[in-house]
Structure 1
Amino acid sequence: MKKVWALVLTTAMALSVLSGCSGSQKPEASSNQGQKEGTEAEKTLEDQDKKKETVTLRMWGGVPAEAGPQAVCDNFNELYKDKGIQEEYERFVNDDTGNLKLETNLLSGTGVDLYMTYAADVLVKRAGGNMALDLSELIERDGFELKQYFGDMAEAYYVNGKPFSIPTKLDQYGIVINKDMFDEAGIEIPTEWTFDEFAETAKKLTHGEGPDKVYGMFWNSQQDLTYVFSDLVTQTNGGDPMYLSETETSFKDPVVIKAVELINNMMNVDKTSPTHTDSVTQKLSQEGMFLTGKCAMTIGPWIVRSIKDKETYPHDFTTAFAPYPVVEKGQRNYTQGSYGDFLCINPKTENIDAAWEFAKWYATEGMLPVVEGGRVPASNTYDPEVVAKAFLNGAEDHIDLDSAMKILIAPADNCAVPSITNHIAEVKKVVTEELEKIFIGQQTVEAGMSKAKERADAFLK
C-alpha cells in the first residue's frame, strides 16, 4: 500500500512539473510574439517616416520623356533613393500654349520645382517676373562657380548681372542634309559655302511637281521666323544678330538684308523651299518634310532624336551636317554656337535645396541620356568620346559621324556669345510680324526691315 501511494505521489509530482513547464512556455512564446509585432510596427513607422522625409521633385521640360528625360530621372532616382530625393518629369510643348501653361503653374506656385527655358528672351522675362530663382546665394554657398564648368560664356546668360539658370546644353547648329540626295546629285557635303552657293545647291536638289515635289530646303518658318538671325546672321555679326547696340537694332544691316532676301527668294522666287504660307496652313514640320524625303536640307539638328526613331519615322538614308552659309567667302567670324536648355528653379518651390542638388547633378554628370536625342552637354565635365558615342547610339548606320563631330559636338573656340537683351521680347515680336508680311508677299524686304527697325528702336530709346 505504501508503495502504491508512493507511486501516485511520484506521478502527481511529475505531472505537476510538466504542467508547470508547459504553463511557463506559453507566456514566453507570447512575449516573443509581442516583441516581433513591436519590431514590425516600429519598422512600419520608420518606413512611413522615410516616405515623409523623401522629397519628390517635379521637373518640366519640352523634350518628350522617352527621348531621354525619363531615363535621366530614373538614373537620378536610383542614385538618390537613399538620400531622400526623387524626381518626376512633366513634358510641356515648347510653343506659346505650352509655355503659357508652364508659366501659369509657376506663378501659382504649384506643380513645378525645376523647369527648362529654351530661349534667352524668355529667360529674361521669367527672371524679371519672379518665375526663376536667383541662384547667386546657392552658387556662393556651394562654390559651384558657373565659369568653372561652362567657361566665360556662362555669364552671357546672366540677367541684370545675376544667374537665374544653369545653361546645360551646347548649341552648335548647322544645316541638316540628306547625304544620299547629295551623293546622287554629285554634290559634296560643304565645309563652307556662301548664300549664292547654298541657293544654287537647293536648285539642283529641287525636282518634281505637286505632291511629288522634293524641295532643296525646308526653313521650318512656321516654328520660328527669327531663325534668320540666329542661323544666317550670327556667323558674321556675332552673338547679338538683332542689335547694333543697346539702343539700336540691326534690321537694316547689309548682312541682315541679304539673309532675309535669301529666304524670301527661295520661298517665293526660286520655289526651292515651301512658302511660309504653306508651312503654316499645312502645319509642315521637319520630321514630315525631311524624314519622308520631301526635302534635301532643313534647319536645326534638334531633329536628331526623330532621326533615331525609325519606328515612327522610317527612312533609310544617311543624315549629314554642314555649317550655315555666309554672304561672302571668308566672311565667317563666329561659329553658330551658344548655350541653351536653361535649367531654372521655381522661386516658389518648397524644395529649393533638393532642386539645386538635382540641377548640379544634371548639368555636370546626368545628361548622357538626352545626348542620344541630340543635346550636347555644355559642361566641361563630360568626356567628348563618351558624348560622341551617346550621340550616335542607335543611329550609327544613318548619321554621318565625321560631319556630326565637326558641326555639332566638338566645342568651338569662336562661339557667338550674346550680350544684349534690351527689350528682347518686344524686339523679337516686332521683327517676327514684319518678316511674316515679307514672306507672304505683303511688303518688300527693304520696306519690311525698315519698318521693323523703326518700330523696334522705339522700345530701345
Structure 2
Amino acid sequence: MKRSLIAAGAVIAAAALALSGCAGTASDTSASSTPGKTTLRVSVWNYAQTPEFKALFDAFHKANPNITIQPVDILAANYEDKITTMLAGGDTTDIITVKNLTDYSGYAQKQQFVDVSDIAKSLPSDKIPALANYDFKGKTYAIPYRQDFNVLYYNKTMFKDAGVADPTNLTWKEFAADAAKLTKGDGASKVYGAYIHTWNSMVQGIAAAQTGNNPNDPSYDWMKDQYNLTLGMQNAGTIMNWATANSQQVAYKDVFEKGQAAMVPMGTWLIAPLLADKAAGTTNVDWGIAPLPQIKANGKITTDGGPTGFGINKNSKNQAAAKKFLQFAVSPEGAKAVASIGIVPAYHSPDITKAYFALDGMPQDSTSKKAFNPDTIKLDAPVAANTAAIGTILNQEHQLIMTGSKSVDDGLAEMASRVKSEVLNQ
C-alpha cells in the first residue's frame, strides 16, 4: 500500500530534533560509540514532519539509556532510491526503515538485511498479524512497528445536511449512490461526493484484497468491475477526474479537510494529521471513519493494507543493539509510543485500541470503532521478487485506463500481455 507522508507537527514539537542533537543526513557517517554506549543510525524520511519516529526513538532511549538513536534523514520523495544506492554502496547505517512490502521484497531478494527470524519466532503472532507479511521464502528480514489499512473517511456534517445515513457498512455500489447524493455545486466551488486518489492501489489493490486474486498472476479480468465503477463515478462527476487530480498533484488530506469531498477511502495514516490539524485549528471538519466499502455484501469487512517496519543492514557494526531496537519497536511499549500520536501500531491489543481512541479528537462513535477492527486485512501486493516489476506495469496501464487512453478491456489485456512478456518471460 502506498502512503503519502503528511506533516503532523502539531502532535509534537514541529522542530523535533534527534535525541542527542540534530538528525543526521544520509551522507553523515560521523556516528560513533563510546565505551558502554552505542549509537544506532536509523534511516528515516522527513524526520521533523514524521513524528512517529521521534516518539518511538524517545521511548526506546528512555528504556535503554545506553543506546542513542541518530536518525539518518532522507527526503520522502527520494527515500527508496537513496536507500537502494546506500545499500548497494556498502553503507553501514544500522537500521533501515522499510516503507512498503515492494521495497522489502527487493532488499530480501538481494540479502541486504540481517535474518531476524529468531526475533519473529519469539513474538506473539496473534497480536502482531503484520508479522507474517515479512515472510520471505521461509525467513524474516524485517519486523513491523505499524500496520496501516484502508478505511472510509467521511464528513459527518455533509452527510447530515444531505439527509444521507452514515456509511456504516456500504458496498461499493452503495458508495457510488451516496456520492451522487452528496455531490453539489460546480466549478471551483464544487463539492464532490467522494474523492478516489490517483494510486493504482485504490482500484487494483482493493479489488485484489476483496476478490482474493493475486496481482502477480497475469490475468486481470477481476479488476474490471472496480474500474467500471470508478470510471462511472468519474464520468458522472461525483469524483474528481483522475487526470485533473494527477496533473494538479491533489493532496487527499486537503480535499477532505477543506470540505471538497464528503468521502475519501484512504489508509489509517491519515488519522494522525487529522488529529493534529484539528488541534492546531487549521481545519474544522467533523469527521468519522467507517469500514471500507465492500464488493460483496456478506457482513464481513475485508480491507487492504500493509506494514511499515525496520530491517537491520547486514553491514551494521551494532547488530545486537539493532535487534534490541527491533524488539522494542514491536513490543507493547513501542506500540504505546506509536499510538500516542495517532499511528496504528503493529502490535494489537484491547489496551492499545483503548489508548488509541482516548486520543483527543478521535471519533467515539461505534462505526469508527468498527472500522478500526476489520475482519481481514489483506496485502494489495504479494511479497515476491517480481512484485516491483509487475507493479510498474500495472501502474502504467492504470494511468492509461483512468485517462481514457485505453478501454478497460484493452488495458487489462495489455497488463496481462506485458507481465507475461516483460517479467515472466512467457
**TM score, norm. by length of structure 1:** 0.76
2:16 is aligned to: none
1:326 to partner: Cα distance: 2.7
Q: Determine whether 1:249 maps to 2:218.
A: yes
CA contact (8 A) 1:230 1:336 kept: no
2:71 is matched with which residue: 89, 101, 118? 89
Within 5 A, what are the aligned runs for 1:25-44? none
2:367 is aligned to: 403
1:124 to partner: Cα distance: 0.5
Separation (CA, whole Å) in 2 of partners of 1:348 and 1:158: 21
Per-residue CA shift, 1:282-313, capped at 9, x if unaligned? 11112221111111111223111110122667
Structure 1 portions without partners, runs of 5+: 1-48
Within 5 A, what are the aligned runs for 1:22-421? 51-62=34-45, 64-65=47-48, 67-81=51-65, 84-95=66-77, 97-110=78-91, 112-136=93-117, 138-139=118-119, 144-145=122-123, 147=125, 150=128, 154-221=131-198, 224-235=199-210, 237-238=211-212, 240-243=213-216, 248-253=217-222, 256-267=223-234, 269-300=235-266, 301-310=268-277, 314-330=282-298, 335-336=302-303, 338-364=305-331, 365-380=333-348, 383-396=349-362, 399-408=363-372, 410=373, 412-416=374-378, 421=384
Per-residue CA shift, 1:172-219, capped at 9, x if unaligned? 421111111111112222232222211111111111222211111122
Secondary structure of 1:428's counterpart equals: helix
Secondary structure of 1:173's counterpart equals: strand
CA contact (8 A) 1:93 1:99 kept: no
CA contact (8 A) 2:200 2:398 kept: yes
Separation (CA, whole Å) in 1 of partners of 2:258 and 2:328: 38
Bigger helix fraction:
1
Separation (CA, whole Å) in 1 of partners of 2:281 and 2:407: 38
Q: Which amino acid aligns with 2:367?
A: S
1:63 to partner: Cα distance: 6.8
Q: Which amino acid aligns with 2:321?
A: A
Q: Determine whether 1:456 maps to 2:419.
A: yes
Per-residue CA shift, 1:227-273, capped at 9, x if unaligned? 213334412x23x5424xxxx334112xx111112222222x01222
1:442 is aligned to: 405
Secondary structure of 1:51's counterpart equals: coil
Per-residue CA shift, 1:381-422, capped at 9, x if unaligned? xx42343333542314xx3442332112x3x55443676635
1:415–1:162 CA distance, 2 compared to 1 (3 A):
same
1:435 to partner: Cα distance: 0.8
1:182–1:71 CA distance, 2 compared to 1 (3 A):
same
1:80 to partner: Cα distance: 1.2
Give the number of the structure whose alpha-carbon radius of gyration is greater: 1
Q: Which amino acid aligns with 1:242?
A: P
Secondary structure of 2:122's counterpart equals: coil
1:414–1:166 CA distance, 2 compared to 1 (3 A):
same
Q: Which amino acid aligns with 2:218?
A: T
CA contact (8 A) 2:80 2:103 kept: no
Secondary structure of 1:264's counterpart equals: helix
CA contact (8 A) 1:92 1:99 kept: no
Separation (CA, whole Å) in 1 of partners of 2:209 and 2:134: 17
Separation (CA, whole Å) in 2 of partners of 1:403 and 1:64: 33
1:425–1:327 CA distance, 2 compared to 1 (3 A):
same
Q: Which amino acid aligns with 1:160?
A: K
1:317–1:156 CA distance, 2 compared to 1 (3 A):
closer
1:306–1:111 CA distance, 2 compared to 1 (3 A):
farther
1:50 to partner: Cα distance: 8.6
1:359–1:172 CA distance, 2 compared to 1 (3 A):
same
1:426 to partner: Cα distance: 1.4
**TM score, norm. by length of structure 2:** 0.82
1:197–1:387 CA distance, 2 compared to 1 (3 A):
closer
Structure 2 portions without partners, runs of 5+: 1-31
Q: Which amino acid aligns with 1:280?
A: N
Q: Which amino acid aligns with 1:175?
A: L
Per-residue CA shift, 1:124-147, capped at 9, x if unaligned? 0111123322213x438xx62463
1:91 to partner: Cα distance: 4.3
Identity of aligned residues (%): 22
CA contact (8 A) 1:286 1:303 kept: no
1:10 is aligned to: none
